[in-house]
Amino acid sequence: MADKLIIVESPAKANTIKKFLGGSTKVVASMGHIRDLPKSKLGVDVEHDFEPEYINIRGKGDLIKSLKKDAKNAKKVYLATDPDREGEAIAWHLAHILEIPQDSICRVTFNEITKETVKESIKNPRKIDMNLTDAQQARRVLDRIVGYKMSPVLWKKVRRGLSAGRVQSVAVKLIVDREEEIEKFIPEEYWNIFANLLETSSNKTFMAKFYGKNEKKLELHSKEEVDNILKDIEKGTYIVTNVKKGERKKTPAPPFTTSTMQQEASRKLGFTLKKTMSVAQGLYEGVHVGEKGTVGLITYMRTDSTRISEEARAAAKKEIVNTYGENYYENRYYKTKQSAQDAHEGIRPTYADLAPDKIKEYLSKDQYKLYRLIYNRFLASQMAAAIYDTVSANIDVKEYNFRASGQTLKFKGFMTLYVETEDNKSEEEEDTSIPELVVGQEVVKQKIEAKQSFTEPPPRYTEASLVKALEEKGIGRPSTYSPTITTILDRHYIEKEQKQLIPTELGKIVNKLLTENFTDIINVEFTAKIEEQFDEVAEGKENWKKVIQEFYGPFGKQVEKVEKELEHVELVEEVSDVPCEKCGRMMVIKYGRYGRFLACPGYPECHNAKPLIETIEEPCPKCGGKIQVRKSKKKRKFYICENNPDKCDYISWNKPSKEKKEKE
């Protein structure tokens, strides 16, 4: 008989903890959830206070038997599932199956899987937190109601097998709305004037940019405006009218939250959200590190807090001072945003002395990359600011004003170790020095040029920028970002092209149908408000069934109304320009599991169907034939001539364009 039985979620976590405890303690894994709502029906009794009808998950019978046997043979059972709402709910379901009383002191959580933390946590168990459990139940039940009530509308009007969801449908809407913005965007012309100037005593040149006239900022929108200014200043003298010197500090970013880790891993490492979470899970659950044995290398990776413990702060200080010197350290505290679930820390290494390069040999390539990112970000968060010397100068020619500015990095500080990136921006700011200038001095014009530009549409979302948008708008929580984006990719509502997320025709149709008929549900404000209510349930301020009840009243009526209105509406199928070779009818575009295909509208008399081959307007640069768009096994688009391989060998990853052809 075991003294203690500890139940965790995964075998990897079980193995790590087993090595810490040994003796008569048994550690087993539940392999995630063991009870859930049934797949075959709604599983929520809407007539009787929305009581969920939980059943044992199919295929887990033997595991449940084994867990019951282990629990019977143990003096004490500890439920050590993950330290979040999902983990709390799994613990609650386990307690139900193992007949552990609800007020039993059996719940243990580990923010990090180290020997010290695990032993300390087992000494301080608590009751299952029903507020956290109810918050998870509220999300699960509400999402089940939304999915099971809205999805049949899609089955009837688009095709079977499609799904709608509270968060996934809003994510699709954001991507479709952005695509519409891009399509409707009308570029506007604007101009800049740059003067290349010479400071004669140092013989150094520098660049000044046109600012305005008589100290008022002037925006230039036509060549005519530019030509008039150039004509006016053609023979003018360039005089320095103001020089301002200063110092600028750049402070480090806080330790990672789930979303910032996902964003940075996407930008810096090219990881998908799914890959980031999978690699992080492995680092959290335990890696064998030489003499230290198996140890969790990072704290729990599902968090929206940037708080770090005082012990971790002290360890960071020691590491920074020893490696870089006292002047590189600064004790920093970061404000966690109000909506954050501050139950545990930000993501950080469990041991500050385990520098990435020290343990590189024990890590896989991907583990090393992500661990290095987490480690460097954490250490940098406790380092001194980078300091720049700045200088800005005003240079006038007649009544027109030019501005020049420069900066030089004086002290690198935290940037020695880590610089946060942003979408479409380079990692480090460049040094741009300008020569010493004195008010009243003349500088000599070397060259002046005007540059025409056009405003650009907003960029398409990437996985990183979509996560940022979802977080900023309060949609979903750390644990939901990755599965949400994975789901809408799997459903073919969106596709990924060179990191950009683009809605498919299917995604646009589904979005149109849902947003037109479920306006109150498929919107950002509603989704964010529901998340806030889930948080209130987790804090014990709100009853979870009351949240569902308030939602279900208007939602149920809306579903009935939509079903009635759409009852006699036939989905208009998109007709292609391809005739059916069997019966002559014009084939229609349909949506299957793997995207669009052509089908004969004469079904069931005619069963003809074939792949829909996408083409582009630009002809083959080699033979003038049609260019087809295909996809590689890794879903990357490529362009191939319709005559390949018989008559033409043209094939390229890059889309052929008129400009390239003209240059050739």
- Residues with catalytic annotation? 300
Please say whether the beta carbons of 618 and 652 come within 8 A. no
CA distance 175 to 170: 9
- Element containing residue 390 per DSSP (H, E): strand 386-397
Please say whether the beta carbons of 118 and 17 come within 8 A. yes
CA separation (Å) from 260 to 28, 257, 427, 469, 470? Answer: 32, 5, 15, 12, 12
Task: Render the burial of 336-352: b for 16+ CB within 10 Å, e for the rest.
Answer: beeebbebbbbbbbbbb
Closest CA to 73 of 122, 111, 18, 24: 24
Please say whether the beta carbons of 159 and 590 come within 8 A. yes
Strands 2-8 vs 74-79: parallel, antiparallel or unpaired: parallel
Secondary structure class of 188 (helix, strand, coil): coil
Cis before 152? omega within 30: no
CA distance 21 to 14: 11
Please say whether the beta carbons of 291 and 244 come within 8 A. no
Please say whether the beta carbons of 390 and 404 come within 8 A. no
Report the alpha-carbon angle 293-295-297, nearest 5: 135
Please say whether the beta carbons of 599 and 617 come within 8 A. no
